[in-house]
Amino acid sequence: MLLTIISFVVFTGLVLGISYFLTRKNDTSSQEGYFLAGRGLTGWIIAASLLLTNLSTEQMVGLNGQGYMFNMSGIGYELGASLVLIVVAFFFLPRYLKKGYATIPDFIGDRYDSATKQMVNFLFLAGYVLILLPTVLYSGAIGMGGIFDITKTFHIDYMTSIIIVVVAIGILGVIYSLAGGLRIMAVADTLNGIGLIIGGLMIPVFALLYVGHGDMLGGLKTIVEAHPEKFNAIGGPNDPVPFFTMFTGMILVNLFYWGCNQTIIQRALAAKNLKEGQKGLLLAAVFKLFGPLYLIIPGIIAFHIFQDNPLEIGDMAYPMLVNTVLPFYLKGFFAAVLFGAILSSFNAALNSTSTLFMLNVYKPYIKPNATDRQVVVAGKVVAVILAIFSMCVAPLIAKAPSGLFNYLQMVNGFYNVPIFTLIIFGMLNKTAPAWSAKITLVFFIVVYGLTQIPMQWTSTVPVLGWLKSIHFLHVMAILFVIAIAFMYLAGKFRPASNAYDDTKDLHIVDTTPWNRGVVMSVAIVLCVFAVYVIFSKFGIAA
């Protein structure tokens, strides 16, 4: 255990030290320098940062938990992301960079009005503060607590171990935030990304060696022959991700997450130019194709290893597997890599939340005459307050019956698809008035809430009762179609007085597209199709 702790501390400290050294001379005193890394990120750094920001323990723990409890249907989140990143690269990003937007609500304000912008900004802030930040901390605590076996090592109860790890992640996250804003986080993500690829792929390798008693291929054969049904990615109606949700709510959730979520898209908004931004997004799409190897399959292997003594909590499958199969001399390294992924997601959410508050609330309403330096300093104070609040909320997150990851996707529905509806329709339609956007937000949130929050009386209302009986991703898609129809009719019969102009390029950065983007996109689509065939009843699951 001592060697594990030492190697963990050394690798974590090394990443922080190198990141600070490489970014120490960069100017972070301005708003653009601190919140958008001076708009100077290149493709590889954007790809690594996107991957690490996205890939944290809510996925490592949550998706592998789904693999343990169900099958490979959770692959939809990963493969869907690969397809959606193509759309973001060619449809969303050029529009954002052309106008030089720093935050997503900036677009809402331009397209609709300032009141709608503040409504969307509030939804982002509420979603990040009450859902995203605490969930990242809590899931991180589960993962780290399982790897270090904190409860047994220090003879403390489960909840105390969760609190200790939550506080540790929160404090280090604040240090990164105070040290240098988005740029130091992006550099640290790149370094951790290398370690994560190595560490993430180590787990299924060692797990298969464990099952095959030193023979990896023998271990794979054992798992596939014993549990072929687990390798089916075509989810049924009772699985966490039914296959047909890929064409309804899933695509909406993924489009929001990768194209409209401030935490994610902020990396691409900080691109040196459109070429580097597109390159980063498409490289990230390629990396997502390998996600099932370390996000689903380890959970299936854990199901085989622990089948004689089933785990009470499915989300404990991944940390228990790591503890069982990984040699002691590698646990510290892997824990540091996983800790880096947790920090990346937490830092990204912290930085984005601070950005949204400072640029859309503090600067325009609280202190309009604030200098760049004052905005940055106040932003750091806000980040500290947010981190402390998240540390208090994180241990209170209750267990979810379908797993942590599915719980996170369900509660995110209160703000992700409603905001996406306004953005995608605002880009495709120039006449829908601002009042229709406000009504759409309120309608979507209220009806979605009535279908997801347990209330017996809602089941007696015919339409609500039916919506409560179907998968939440289908509910999102149905409400999306209704909202789009309403906004279209509003724009047709009572159009906005001033149509939005999206043709003007402010030349904040060069918007020349990447010339190899189309070829890479076609290759990604073919690979997604091939992976689904392999993990279906036409392939391994047969």
Among the listed residues 18, 336, 35, the one whose alpha carbon sits nearest the alpha carbon of residue 177? 35
Cβ-contact 164, 259 below 8 angstroms: no
> Nearest 5°: phi and psi at 155?
55, 55
Spatial distance between the Cα atoms of 9 and 298, rounded to a whole number of angstroms: 26
Total tally of structural domains belonging to the chain: 1
Q: How confident is the model at residue 401 (pLDDT cuts 50, 70, 90)?
A: very low
51 in a domain, yes or no? yes
Cβ-contact 228, 542 below 8 angstroms: yes
For residue 153, pLDDT over 50 is answered with yes
Cβ-contact 33, 27 below 8 angstroms: yes
The residues facing 271 across adjacent strands are: 41
330 in a domain, yes or no? yes
19 in a domain, yes or no? yes
Cβ-contact 342, 140 below 8 angstroms: yes
> Which ranges of 433-499 would DSSP assign to H, the alpha helix?
434-452, 462-468, 472-493
Q: How confident is the model at residue 493 (pLDDT cuts 50, 70, 90)?
A: very high
For residue 29, pLDDT over 60 is answered with no
242 in a domain, yes or no? yes
Encode pLDDT of 73-102 as tens digits: 888 888 999 999 999 999 999 999 998 888
405 in a domain, yes or no? no
For residue 440, pLDDT over 80 is answered with yes
Q: How confident is the model at residue 419 (pLDDT cuts 50, 70, 90)?
A: very high
367 in a domain, yes or no? yes
143 in a domain, yes or no? yes
Encode pLDDT of 253-287 as tens digits: 899 999 998 888 888 888 889 999 999 999 999 99
Spatial distance between the Cα atoms of 239 and 246, rounded to a whole number of angstroms: 13
Is the pTM above the cut of 0.85?
A: no
Residues belonging to the chain: 542
The DSSP letter of residue 219 is: H
The CATH number assigned to the domain holding 80 equals 1.20.1730.10
pLDDT of residue 414: 86
> What is the extent of the structural domain holding 99?
2-398
pLDDT of residue 22: 66
pLDDT of residue 398: 47
Encode pLDDT of 349-378 as tens digits: 787 788 888 888 898 888 888 887 888 788
Spatial distance between the Cα atoms of 512 and 309, rounded to a whole number of angstroms: 57
Cβ-contact 316, 142 below 8 angstroms: yes
The DSSP letter of residue 512 is: P
Mean pLDDT, rounded, for 234-240: 83
124 in a domain, yes or no? yes
